[in-house]
Chains A and B, each alone.
Chain A
Amino acid sequence: MNKETRRHSAVVRVTHWITVIAFFALLITGIEIVISHPRFYWGETGNVNMQPLFSLHIPSSRDTVPTGYGYVMPDQNGWSRALHFQAAWVLVLTGLVYGISSLVNGHFRKDIVPARGERTGRAYWEVIAKYLRRAPLDEAEALRYNAVQRAAYLVVIFVLFPLVIWTGLALSPAFDAAFPLAVNALGGRQSARTLHFFVSGFLVIFLVVHVTMVYFSGFRSRMRAMITGRAVLPPEVQ
């Protein structure tokens, strides 16, 4: 029988899967909301009487938006907005639990911040080269994150999620009344909306790469580790 070892703590696993659910809810409802005005602007104001920065060439759920399509999609904004904010609360509160516990128990320091010997361009390149060669993963990979994974997770946890929350909050007129700098620092309301769209896009790119990497490195064993918390040790280290 293969030897098993602990891989992911309960906090990491539970917060990971709650985040997955909340993220999908946010993504789907976010797309629905964009469909009601698939035009993006820069600065404070923007509407159909103004030149957009760019438009998505999709039909809209509002007949006031010129899209070039001869039909209007059904309006889904009501439930989409409600679910978007409810999922955002779930995501933020889950993120707080994960963030605080990871600071306290050393998860960030031990597992997420790139290890001391791996903070060189060369170390990152070695991992990437290994991925490109499709070389078999060494035993350590099943037990700890490599340098590229750590860097990616650092960016997602400390850059993309904070940015997507900030740009999203900047779209709330009441929040902006209390904290005008939140929107002014981004260059205005429409800039905040455009940035919210792009940061969400980066999160989707991360998601696609993340799932692809899980697939290539052993879908079953990685899913098992994130669900049960246990990983089977590779034969060499048993």
Chain B
Amino acid sequence: MAKRKPIIEFQHVTKIYSGYDSKVIALNDVSLRIFSGEFIAITGPSGSGKSTLLHCMGLLDRPTSGKIFIEGKDTSEITGKDVALLRGKKIGFVFQSYNLIPRLSVIENVILPGLIIGRKRKELEKKAMDLLKEVGIAHRAEHRGVHLSGGEQQRVAIARALINDPIIILADEPTGALDTDSSKDIMDLLKETNRNRGVTVVFVSHDPDIARYGRRRIEVVDGKIVSDRRRR
């Protein structure tokens, strides 16, 4: 059997935030491999470095030392516009507060990442409608994002994350602003997306009930991975 190749690999990644008179080690010599189709929960107490781990994974932040590979490509060797392009094409983001652009309609929000990387609007609109159907919000395609409930907005955000067919979806506290029922719905949707589309999902949560959704659970404490377990 051929050896599986990771889609994301961290090699001794350290991230240090330096202030005027302080130094915070957010990630401390982290090595990690993420494979295609995984459904991963990153947990840990507040300030443990789990969000930093996610940001580095999504190329939103650069490590102070160590290397991050995406599909075998060393990201420390690429800069500027190529990083942005890689982020746009390969990674889908879901944020805690949804980050929908308030003055855009639901469908416009969904196609936005596609427009940014230069795809054609018509093709994007067709795909966006399919995705909105998939997340169960197609009937509100023409509404403005801000007029939707939190759960609905997060569904739109998931559709938006999928528009460019990413290899991975990174969700930072995707249920952090939702009530219990909506949280469950969103987690079920993410799980379904992972299963049906085979897209890797990595989410951060400090809520043990939510973290339980992850088939693989990585626990971060003080910038170090203290446990990395797969559920059968």
Do A and B come together as binding partners?
A: no
